Amino acid sequence: MRIRIHGGRVLDPASGFDAITDLYIGDGRILSVGKAPDGFTADREIDAHGLHVIPGLVDVSARLREPGQEHKGTIASETRAAAAGGITTLCLPPDTDPVIDTPAVAELIARRARDAGHARVVTLGALTLGLGGEQLAEMALLRDQGHCVGVSNACRPVTSTRVMRRAMEYAASCRMTVFLHADDASLSQGGCVHEGVMSTRLGLPGIPDAAETVAVARELMLIEQTGVRAHFCHLSTAHAVQMVARARHDGLPVSMGTTAHHLHLTEMDIGDFDSRAHVLPPLRTERDRDGLREGIARGAISTICSDHQPHDADAKLAPFPETEPGISGLETLLPLAQRLVEDGIADLPTVLGKLTHEPAAILGLDDCGRLQPGLRADICLYAPRQPWRVDGSAFLSAGKNTPFDGWELRGQVLYTLLEGKVVFDFNSE
C-alpha cells in the first residue's frame, strides 16, 4: 500500500530534520520526505495537520509475559498495547519461561510477534544457562540462529565475578552487547523499597543506593578489562549515572538508560503502601530523580524505556513486600517522556531521540528509529497538545497496574505504522 502523510510536523531526531511537510510511503519503506516521488499515487492519505510525525518508538526493555505467564499478558495483547503507545519495536529480556537460552525459544517469540502483526519484537539471549549465573549460555548460537540482538541475565544476579568476567569475554568475542541490571544481590536481598525516609516510616525492608552503585563499579571494572560493549538498562540513582558518564567520557564502550517512571516518581509516591509503585529498582529520592533528569539533559542517558511488566490484579493485592514489582508502561511511555519537555528538562528532539534512534543504535537496528528514505516506514503520529487522563482499567495491555492512574498527560497517539501498515488507528479503536 502507498500512503501519503500530509501536513504534519515531521521530526527526525537522528538527522535534526524538523519541518511541516509530507511523507511518502510505499512497499513498507519511506520513499521520500517533502517531494512526491515520480509517478506516486497514494492508496491512502492521512491528514496530519496539527500532529507530530516521528519515528516509531523503540523500547529497550519490555516484558510481554509470553511464554510462561500468559495469565498476565500475551505477545498479541502487549504488542497491541505497544502500537497504541506509538511503539513499533520492543526488546524482550530473556527471563521468559522457558528462558531464552536456546534459538528455539527466540524463534518462537519472533514467530508469534509476526503472527500478531502489531509491533516488531527482538530478543536478548541469556548470558548464563537458565539465568542461573553459573554456566555460560551459547551466545554465538543465540546470535546466529536465534537472531538475538544482545545478551543479558535480566534481573537475576551473577554473583560470581569470575563468571561475569568470562561471560563478558565470550560476549566480546561474539561482538554482542551485554545488557546489565545493576544490583548487588547481597545488599538488596529482601528489600522492596528505597532504604530511606519512607522505608523507615512504613517499616518496609529497604534497598540502599549502594546496591546499584557497587554493582555498577564491578561491571565497569570488568568492562574495562574485557572490552565488551555494555548497556546499563534502568539506572535509578544519581551516583550511578555519574559513574557511567565518567566511564564513557574515559572511553569505555558503555551506555545507560532509565525508565519513564523513575524520571517522574520518587519514594514518596509509595504513599500509604501503594503497591502500584512497587518497582525494581525501587523509586529513589528526589535528588536521584533530579540526577536522572540531569542525565537526560546532558545527553549522558541514551534511552528512556517503559520497563513494561504487566500483572494480573491479584499480584498487587497482597501486603506491599509480598506484591510483585512492575508497572504497565507501554501506553504512557511517550506522554511521560514529552512531559520532560513541558517541565523544561530538555527540548523535544533530545527527548524523542531517547525513544527512537538512540535505543535503535544500541540494539544494532540500523533501519529503525529514523525517518529517512529507504528505511522501514515505522512511524508514530500523535497530537502533542491533546490532554488525556490515565485510566489503567482502559489500557489495551492485559496489565492495568500503573501508579499514574488519574494523571493528566498530554500527547495522544492517533496512528502507528509498522513497515508501512497502519497497526493502530485511534479513531477505529
Domain stop point among 362, 385, 410: 362
- Regions in the chain scoring below 50 on pLDDT: none
**Is residue 251 assigned to a domain?**
yes
170 and 118 housed in the same domain: yes
The CATH number of whichever domain residue 119 belongs to comes to: 3.20.20.140
37 and 141 housed in the same domain: no
Domain stop point among 362, 386, 414: 362
**Number of domains the chain contains:** 2
384 and 305 housed in the same domain: no
336 and 223 housed in the same domain: yes
225 and 158 housed in the same domain: yes
Q: How far is CA 121 from CA 22, 45, 67, 116, in A?
A: 28, 28, 13, 11
Predicted local confidence at residue 428, as pLDDT: 86
**Is residue 367 assigned to a domain?**
no
Please tell me which residue in 59, 95, 184, 307 is annotated as part of the active site.
307
**Is residue 368 assigned to a domain?**
no
**Is residue 370 assigned to a domain?**
no
177 and 239 housed in the same domain: yes
**Is residue 347 assigned to a domain?**
yes
Predicted local confidence at residue 99, as pLDDT: 98
Strands 193-194 and 206-207: parallel
44 and 131 housed in the same domain: no
**Is residue 369 assigned to a domain?**
no
137 and 205 housed in the same domain: yes
Predicted local confidence at residue 417, as pLDDT: 98
Half-sphere exposure of 408 (CA within 13 A, CB side): 4
Strand (E) or helix (H) holding 408:
strand 408-418
Strand (E) or helix (H) holding 172:
helix 161-173
128 and 277 housed in the same domain: yes
**Is residue 144 assigned to a domain?**
yes
Domain stop point among 338, 362, 386: 362
Q: Give CB contacts under 8 A, 24+ apart, made by 161-167.
A: 161/218, 161/222, 163/128, 163/133, 163/134, 163/136, 164/218, 164/219, 164/222, 165/222, 165/225, 165/226, 166/136, 167/127, 167/128, 167/136
Q: Which residues pair with 111 in a beta bridge?
A: none
124 and 47 housed in the same domain: no
200-228 per-position pLDDT tens digit: 999 999 999 999 999 999 999 999 999 99
**Is residue 380 assigned to a domain?**
yes
What's this model's pTM, rounded to 2 decimal places?
Answer: 0.97
Strand (E) or helix (H) holding 424:
strand 421-425
The CATH number of whichever domain residue 386 belongs to comes to: 2.30.40.10
239 and 143 housed in the same domain: yes
Predicted local confidence at residue 40, as pLDDT: 93
Question: Residue 59 catalytic?
Answer: no
Please give the residue range of the domain that contains residue 27: 3-53+376-428
Closest CA to 180 of 154, 161, 160: 154
291 and 390 housed in the same domain: no
Give Cβ neighbours of residue 203 (< 8 Å, ≥ 6 apart): none
